Structure 1
Amino acid sequence: MYLKTAFLFSMVVSAIALPTSSPKTVKRAAILDVQDYSDFQISDGVAGNALAEVQAKFPIDESDLANVDPEDLAIIKAARQTAENAETEAGGFNEAIEAAGGTKTAAGKVLQVGKIKNKVLKLKLFSLALQIDQAQGKDTADKLAETLTKLNNNIKQDEAAAGQPSQSVDFQGSSQPKKL
């Protein structure tokens, strides 16, 4: 009887001693570094694995987007803008493909494959930024759905060209946010 009473008493004391507050969400520390475009671009090499290449360059834990550090989000947004500029601005893919004689030439085709990989980079970063914004309370559902459709289309194009050589452009830019 004494053992039974002692056991019950210890169980009651243990239950009282348990913490009663719920765990607080803790923001994660920044994990990304500002890089030049030449360091985070994925267009060199071969086609077929662009999405994995982006994820390796920007290793964000997508299972907990609500707690992504604001500095990481700013770097992702800046890198996305730079990847877009590398497609459309002077010195970018569009200009380089045209200078190479279009996508019918060997040089133009290799650049076009690189451009598709760059689009995967741009769109993955854009969708990631939208998902982070949404997880942190902003309504980005419509833009996210549109961006994911474009991303999936470009992933399919990259996978269809698997093994084909791809080439980047010598574009100047970085993932440095405008305000950090």
Structure 2
Amino acid sequence: MGVSHQRITDLLIKAAATIKAAPNVEPWNYGWCVSDYRRSERAALDSSDGPVTMTSAGITAYEEAVDSLLRQASLRDRWDSEEIWGLVASLVVAASETGDAVSFITQNLPKILKPSPALVVFPVANIEWDSAPMLLGSKCAIGLAGAEFTELVARLGGRASSAKEIVSEFIKEQKCQRPLVCFAMLVSGNATWPSSRLPGSLRCW
């Protein structure tokens, strides 16, 4: 029988209470997937106030929480097993910076467990389009890049409903053929998939 959601929440709250400054140490969030690193004197995480770390007791609680998460097949399907260590550590740090770590973790842990679909947008090459943008099913849109396309993408719902400005900026950045045809779709994915790690002609939010 797996560890309960409440138990995982309690462990992360405990870890958040132990966050302390780690001066003169270079943060490496991804490195927290390595046991020798996270338990070393050089281990640190990013925070708004500079490098921080957890106490030994905090790390123990954090490790138990992440190990419990990684036993869930649905979570392993969505996240890289190494990446999840840094993601949860970032959640712990963020919680420690609020006035209510309990509420913060309670509200945000589900976003890791069951992230909402991500919006992916990219230009389509070697295609001519002379009609209005159109929906393909309930999760995809295609058409000439512009105001009409942006409005149609917003109708996909989820993250897309609040992405008009971002999609517009993405279209402006493209140096592809004109007129530009774009494709947008909602896909199951991670809660956070930084665009900085994607090719310039592809964006995910």
Q: TM-score, normalised by structure 1?
A: 0.25
Q: Which structure shows the bigger proportion of residues in strand conformation?
A: 2
Greater helix fraction, Structure 1 or Structure 2? 1
Structure with the bigger RCO (C-alpha within 8 Å, sep 6+) is 1
Which has the larger Rg? Answer: 1
- Give the TM-score of the pair, scaled to structure 2: 0.23
